[in-house]
Amino acid sequence: MRHTVSSEPLAQNVLDSPAVAVLCGLEDAGLYLAVVNGRLRVWPAERLTATHEHLIRQHRSELVALVRICDDGVQARLVVHKQQLAKVPKGSTPDFVFQRGTPYAKAVCFSCGAVLPEPHYGRCWRCSLAWRMAVGVPIPAEQTAAYDGARVVA
């Protein structure tokens, strides 16, 4: 587990953190955000002010987490997992598998079949985020920001 140094305590759930307002502000200013190879990219550079840069530095982990949550692949899984959850009796949870028939094998996400960067059993970061959101499990920014490519956490 990698440690992230942050200037202020991270919110328990990134969706409740002040970074949500920061992200909205950046987008309102015409900026785009993406996570490339685990690093936050913000563009176009000519629209970035010193204030933006300060806010980005202050909320980097949360912003990475939020950008990952907005990922199309995560949202597609979330839709499927919410449907699965609606079909099971109250109090129980489905297995949250995105693609039925995916083999349970080392280095392959058992939910969607994506290749994992490390040779163990588990879900890719998209599948990990999606089921957590479907159930309403808090998403800690630090953990989500540390997802590297397709790092497995749960």
Residues that bind Zn ion (CB under 5 A): 109, 111-112, 114, 124, 127
CB nearer to Zn ion: pick between 10 and 127:
127
Output the smallest distance, CB 81 to Zn ion, in A: 11
Output the smallest distance, CB 43 to Zn ion, in A: 28
Output the smallest distance, CB 87 to Zn ion, in A: 20
CB nearer to Zn ion: pick between 52 and 151:
151
CB nearer to Zn ion: pick between 19 and 96:
96
CB nearer to Zn ion: pick between 19 and 114:
114
Output the smallest distance, CB 52 to Zn ion, in A: 33
Q: Rounded to the nearest 5°, which phi and psi values hold at 73? A: -65, -35
CB nearer to Zn ion: pick between 31 and 139:
139
Output the smallest distance, CB 40 to Zn ion, in A: 22
Please say whether the beta carbons of 124 and 111 come within 8 A: yes
Cα(150)–Cα(38) distance, rounded to whole angstroms? 10
Cα(154)–Cα(141) distance, rounded to whole angstroms? 15
